[in-house]
Structure 1
């Protein structure tokens, strides 16, 4: 007696989702069980009311069209049992009507749940697009450097936050920035986009990293409150010379011949937004050197009160394969360490110095091409 409208269940356009298939399967099993029990009990109708559970069960997982199909099937089955019964009692009539009413309610619940699920999917896609606009993919080659970037979100429903990074080839060498905006949410994303937008402009304009810091500090100060700030580390590689300025950010780690060296600044400086006065640290690079830039989410990752041993594991995780392979290994080890639960987002940039330039050509911003030719 179980008749399920195929057109309603499959909608004639696209295959059922895994959730709809699971909900449909469970509902059909329930319909079959109740029908079998009712048939075995004889011609008297006693269990028709239980058929209302089928659309309710489907509503937990399936789309509203599937729930409607299951509900129609349950209603038709209940009507069939009522028609073959020797006498249609008032209770039987009430139960048949109840199955139809519960079907309508289940369809409404499934429709609301489906709309909410579709909205979450849409917001997730928008977040992914926003992340790609704010945090553009890095590498695999920027000037003399092999570069890879990675963003690890602390929540499964959010793919973007206040951590930022960028690497660009400028007339003054390859320049990179990594930063962390105080706070979370849309305000942090907005400020991160402001910092990156400013950096992508002034990194081409200023010959000295200290001037870049001053410009970024003004951009942050114009757009934040008294207690907001952005920690940042800026790195420049020019002709094999590495220059680092640090504004309240965790120091980068230099990986060289099996050793891991924290590149602490010569003097501490406050974050962007607090008028930092920075002193550069200068290192001479060797081919094969790698540099890890990271935000404080990596330093704060812990399990049972024990912090992730970044410096102790850095060479084993990051010193082999490509730079993208290294970041993938670091993320895997980190997620295993914290059992999949991070307290903060993490931005990672790993670069490898591959040697001096073979060409004297340097990158010139598109808006300067005409001026250079004239």
Structure 2
């Protein structure tokens, strides 16, 4: 029978604690040595990370020694009676003394760890914002919610391609008491620069389309302005359509954009470009054409990412787009846009690499 079974139990528990903390300190020691070796080699973790790992190892080692001494002293004390055998328990004062002697350094290291934690949290916040930024930016260029316009049914869909930022956009807004403009466009390239250009073009065109009744004149003014201030590689294809409910017409101008398709008088017709890409020539001329618009007529606009979906060397193409519209011109405008996108996805042998924007407008 042990003279002090309680102390023996404490010794066993402390031994387990020492083993656990010992394994943890060994892991930290290996990590600290790797970090220090990387610093010495001039690569990998920074000097601060190596120091923090070394500090964490020392704290774990301190705890390991403390548990080991508590286990040893309680084991000795549990095997014998008498005050003399309680003396080894005073060895516990050694790690206590270490804690007091190095308290300043320990507190400094703890502060460094807290600062590092704050920095890590800040980095996580920045990364989260960077992940949200492209989606929010795309929502400005191709919003999910478009205004309700009396007398028109509006369908639209947008899918981003490769890369974080997009250059495709569409817009719908009133320009007068009886006039509404629908716009779709695409800035060449991928990344932040084309996205900024797309944003500028979209909102500058709003100003010009409210100032000029003819979209071709708005294009000419926009082209002069963008050519004077934009980068040469920021080529823009765009199509603008002004619907006039009083005149029952639409007026369309296209700056090097893929053909728009209109369902009118029981047939599908293509409305092709009426001028070159924006910023290609600052003195370029643009013209528009006017088309009658009856109830039930539908206009389909899209960016080149739809027509250029690829299956090997074969393109999805404008004819397939027109064919889908021709098969069911009375389809719901939202369903039509989704059908076109799904057809392009099914046709392509891989994911669509370019952005795709589709806008369908039907007169009711």
The reply to whether TM is greater than 0.5 is yes
Tell me the matched-pair count. 289
Q: Could you say if the C-alpha distance between residues 125 and 49 of structure 1 is closer, same or farther in structure 2, counting changes exceeding 3 Å?
A: same
Match of 1:352 in 2: 362
Q: Deviations over 1:244-292 (max 9, x none)?
A: 2221111112246986533224xx5211222332333333333223222
Q: What's the TM-score once normalised by structure 1's chain length?
A: 0.60
Match of 1:167 in 2: 172
Compute the RMSD of aligned alpha carbons: 4.6
- 2:272 alignment partner, SS class: coil
Q: Could you say if the C-alpha distance between residues 235 and 110 of structure 1 is closer, same or farther in structure 2, counting changes exceeding 3 Å?
A: same
Q: What's the TM-score once normalised by structure 2's chain length?
A: 0.61
In 1: Cα distance, 2:319 partner to 2:24 partner: 62
Q: Could you say if the C-alpha distance between residues 269 and 82 of structure 1 is closer, same or farther in structure 2, counting changes exceeding 3 Å?
A: same
Q: Kindly indicate which of the two structures has a greater share of residues assigned to helix.
A: 2
* Match for residue 253 of structure 2 among 222, 245, 248: 245
In 2: Cα distance, 1:309 partner to 1:272 partner: 23
1:149 aligns with 2:159: no
**Greater C-alpha Rg:** 2
1:286 aligns with 2:297: no
1:211 aligns with 2:225: no
Match of 1:124 in 2: 131
In 2: Cα distance, 1:325 partner to 1:214 partner: 35
* Range with bigger deviation, 166-175 or 78-87: 78-87
In 2: Cα distance, 1:85 partner to 1:351 partner: 81
Match of 2:203 in 1: 197
* Range with bigger deviation, 181-190 or 256-265: 256-265
Q: Deviations over 1:269-319 (max 9, x none)?
A: 211222332333333333223222111122222243332356426338985
Q: Deviations over 1:83-104 (max 9, x none)?
A: 68779xxxxx9xxxxxxxxxx9
In 1: Cα distance, 2:200 partner to 2:239 partner: 16
Match of 1:3 in 2: none
In 1: Cα distance, 2:175 partner to 2:337 partner: 25
Q: What stretches of structure 1 of length at least 5 have no aligned partner?
A: 1-38, 57-70, 88-92, 94-103, 355-374
Aligned runs of 1:313-352 on 2, under 5 Å? 314-315=324-325, 319=329, 322-338=332-348, 341-352=351-362
In 1: Cα distance, 2:326 partner to 2:114 partner: 55
In 1: Cα distance, 2:298 partner to 2:194 partner: 29
Match of 2:194 in 1: 188
